[in-house]
Structure 1
Amino acid sequence: MPVKLERKHALPLTLAPIMIALGFVLFKLYTASKVTNPETGRVARVGIDPEQEQRLGLEAYAQVKRDEAAKIVQSGPDVELVKRVTNRLARAAAEKATVQYNWEVSVIQSNEKNAFCLPGGKIVVYTGIIPIAKNEAGLATVLGHEMAHATSRHGAERLFRSELTKTILGGFQGGLAQMDPAQRQTIMGALGAGAKYGATLPFSRTQESEADHIGLIYMARAGYDPKEAVAFWQRMDEQVGKGGSPPQFMSDHPSHNTRIGHLQTWMPEAEKEFASHHQHNAPGA
Structure 2
Amino acid sequence: MPIKLERKHAFPIALVPLMLAVGFILFKLFTASKVTNPETGRTHRIGLNPEQEQKLGLEAYAQVRHDEASKLVQSGSEVELVKLVTAKLAKAAARKGDIHYDWEVSVIRSAEVNAFCLPGGKIVVYTGILPVTQHAAGLATVLGHEMAHATSRHGAERLFRTEITQTLLGGVQGSLAQMDPVKRQAIMAALGAGTKYGNTLPFSREQESEADHIGLLYMARAGYDPQEAVAFWQRMDAQRRKGSTPEYLSDHPSHSTRIGQIEKWMPEAQKEFVQYNHAPAA
TM interval, shorter chain, is over 0.9
Q: CA RMSD in A?
A: 1.6
Matches within 5 A, 1:180-259: 180-242=180-242, 244-259=243-258
Unaligned runs of 5+ in 2: 1-10
SS in 2 for 1:41: coil
SS in 1 for 2:110: coil
Q: Does 1:24 align with 2:15?
A: no
Count, aligned residues: 270
| Structure 1 residues 8-44: Cα deviation after superposition (integer angstroms, max 9, x where no partner) | xxx9992111111011111111111110001000001
**Contact map agreement 2:221 2:277 (CA 8 A) in 1:** no
CA distance in 2, matches of 1:250, 1:273: 34
**Which residue of the partner structure matches residue 276 of structure 2?**
277
Shift of 1:99: 3.3
**Which residue of the partner structure matches residue 68 of structure 1?**
68
**Which residue of the partner structure matches residue 143 of structure 2?**
143
Q: Does 1:44 align with 2:44?
A: yes
Q: Does 1:266 align with 2:257?
A: no
**Contact map agreement 1:12 1:179 (CA 8 A) in 2:** no
CA distance in 2, matches of 1:105, 1:44: 28
**Which residue of the partner structure matches residue 4 of structure 2?**
none
* Letter matched to residue 31 of structure 1: T
Shift of 1:279: 4.0
CA distance in 1, matches of 2:187, 2:230: 43
* Letter matched to residue 103 of structure 1: W
**Contact map agreement 1:13 1:178 (CA 8 A) in 2:** no
SS in 1 for 2:102: coil
**Which residue of the partner structure matches residue 7 of structure 2?**
none
**Which residue of the partner structure matches residue 112 of structure 1?**
112
**Which residue of the partner structure matches residue 170 of structure 1?**
170
**Which residue of the partner structure matches residue 127 of structure 1?**
127
SS in 2 for 1:125: strand
CA distance in 2, matches of 1:184, 1:78: 54
SS in 1 for 2:277: helix
Shift of 1:239: 0.2
| Structure 1 residues 231-275: Cα deviation after superposition (integer angstroms, max 9, x where no partner) | 000000000124x21111110000000000000000000001111
CA distance in 2, matches of 1:13, 1:108: 56
* Letter matched to residue 217 of structure 1: L
SS in 2 for 1:274: helix
CA distance in 1, matches of 2:258, 2:241: 16
Q: % of aligned pairs identical?
A: 72
CA distance in 1, matches of 2:169, 2:244: 29
Unaligned runs of 5+ in 1: 1-10
* Letter matched to residue 105 of structure 2: V
* Letter matched to residue 274 of structure 2: A
* Letter matched to residue 192 of structure 1: G
**Contact map agreement 1:115 1:142 (CA 8 A) in 2:** yes
CA distance in 2, matches of 1:88, 1:67: 28
Shift of 1:189: 1.0
**Which residue of the partner structure matches residue 153 of structure 1?**
153
CA distance in 2, matches of 1:250, 1:22: 28
| Structure 1 residues 162-211: Cα deviation after superposition (integer angstroms, max 9, x where no partner) | 00000000001101111122221111111111111111100000000000
SS in 2 for 1:139: helix
CA distance in 2, matches of 1:171, 1:98: 38
**Contact map agreement 1:12 1:176 (CA 8 A) in 2:** no
Give the TM-score of the pair, scaled to structure 1.
0.92
| Structure 1 residues 98-149: Cα deviation after superposition (integer angstroms, max 9, x where no partner) | 2310000000000000000000000000000000001100000000000000
CA distance in 1, matches of 2:224, 2:278: 14
* Letter matched to residue 51 of structure 2: E
CA distance in 2, matches of 1:12, 1:71: 59
**Contact map agreement 1:149 1:211 (CA 8 A) in 2:** yes
